[in-house]
Amino acid sequence: MTRFHAPDPFDSRGWRNRSFVVVFGHHTFAGRAFDVGLIVAIMASVAVALADSIAPVHARYGRLFYALEWGFTLMFTAEYLFRLMIVRHPVRYARSFYGVIDLLALLPTYLSLLVPGAHYLAVLRVLRILRIFEVLHLRRYTRATSILLDSLQNSWRKILVFLLAMLAIVTIFGAVIFLVEGPENGFTSIPLSMYWALVSVSTVGFGDLAPATPLGRMVASVLILIGYGIIAVPTGIYTAELATSLRTRRDARTCEACGLVGHEPDAGHCRRCGHALPEAGG
């Protein structure tokens, strides 16, 4: 990902290039130190937001937390501007996945000047920690992540169809339970009843609302059975895609002698004819 932001390669001794290696790179000592320091700072700033939300702690350390939060925010703002400055294509960085998250993580504190309480959204900074996989050179993790995301990408269309069908179920059952139970049992409107239907069909079942009449309980039973039947669907979609992903990642090579495809990743010879296989690419 960092390769898209490489600064001028012909000026490798300039301060921008040297800064780039530290801020965006993970291979030098200074680069790793910067990464670790950044992640510690992010974690600390999230911890401040969490602690500040606890009333007794806020009462005691509120002013300290306020100062800390602005300190972190100004620091991260400086870091963000610095990244924009040293990168070769600032717009491309600003629009990349990490660039957007870096910006989003800054806004809540500034927003809190206008909207009190907005600074709690500074917990969005947790998303910056996802960078940890890149920092720690955990190639196997990024490979695992990419398999997961590939499968999600292949199956999102089916999952969207499924979610729309579920929205229809929730709307219809919400209206039916509203008619059957009515406001006297807590189902005061169809939107509220739809919330109940969603909570039920997804097997969450808070129990803040529950049918109290025999007929309402029969409706709930039918809804639960439907939910029980269709909870299989997203799992099935995703599992089938993932199984395909895992299989096709193994099956890239073709035997040059007999044309068999579908070799295991450690195979050096075709299992049908014994001819030597090309090297596994990855």
For residues 163-222, which are near a copy of itself according to CB under 8 A? 163-168, 171-172, 174-176, 178-179, 183, 188-195, 198-200, 202-208, 210, 212, 214, 217-218, 220-221
Q: In angstroms, give the least distance from the CB of 219 to a copy of itself.
A: 11
89 near a copy of itself, judged by CB under 8 A: no
For 194-256, the DSSP string reads: HHHHHHHHTT----SS---SHHHHHHHHHHHHHHHHHTHHHHHHHHHHHHHHHHHHH---B-T
Distance CA(45)–CA(228), nearest Å, equals: 41
Radius of gyration (C-alpha) of the chain in whole angstroms? 27
For residue 242, give every residue at least 6 positions away whose Cβ sits within 8 Å of its Cβ, in sequence order, or none. 147, 148, 151
By the 8 A CB rule, do 147 and 245 touch?
yes
Cβ 269 vs Cβ 278: under 8 Å: no
Show contacts with a copy of itself in window 25-54 (CB under 8 A): 46, 49-50, 53-54
Residue from the set 89, 231, 256, 278 that interacts with a copy of itself by CB under 8 A: 231
Instruction: Report, in Å, the least distance between residue 73 CB and a copy of itself.
Output: 16
Q: How far is the CB of 44 from a copy of itself (least distance, A)?
A: 14
- State in angstroms the smallest separation of the CB of 184 from a copy of itself: 12
Q: Which stretch binds a copy of itself (CB under 8 A): 15-23, 61-69, 88-96, 266-274?
A: 266-274
Stretch that binds a copy of itself, among 27-35, 61-69, 83-91, 256-264 (CB under 8 A): 256-264
Instruction: Kindly tell me which of 87 and 220 has the beta carbon lying closer to a copy of itself.
Output: 220
- Cα–Cα dist 151/145, whole Å: 10
Q: Residue 246: count other Cβ atoms within 10 Å of its Cβ.
A: 12
Residue 163 CB, nearest approach to a copy of itself (Å): 7
Contact between residue 87 and residue 1 where contact means Cβ atoms under 8 Å apart: no
Q: How far is the CB of 45 from a copy of itself (least distance, A)?
A: 12
Beta strands per DSSP E along the chain? none
Binding footprint of a copy of itself, residue count (CB under 8 A):
111
Nearest to a copy of itself of 21, 223 (CB atom): 223
In whole angstroms, give the CA distance from residue 174 to residue 216. Answer: 11
Minimum gap (Å) between residue 143 Cβ and a copy of itself: 9
Instruction: Name which of 6 and 199 has its Cβ closer to a copy of itself.
Output: 199
Q: 84 vs 277, which CB is nearer to a copy of itself?
A: 277
Neighbouring CB atoms inside 10 A of 53's CB total 14
Residue 229 CB, shortest distance to a copy of itself, in Å, is 6
Nearest to 209 by CA among 228, 191, 192, 226: 192
Closer to a copy of itself by CB, 22 or 192: give it.
192
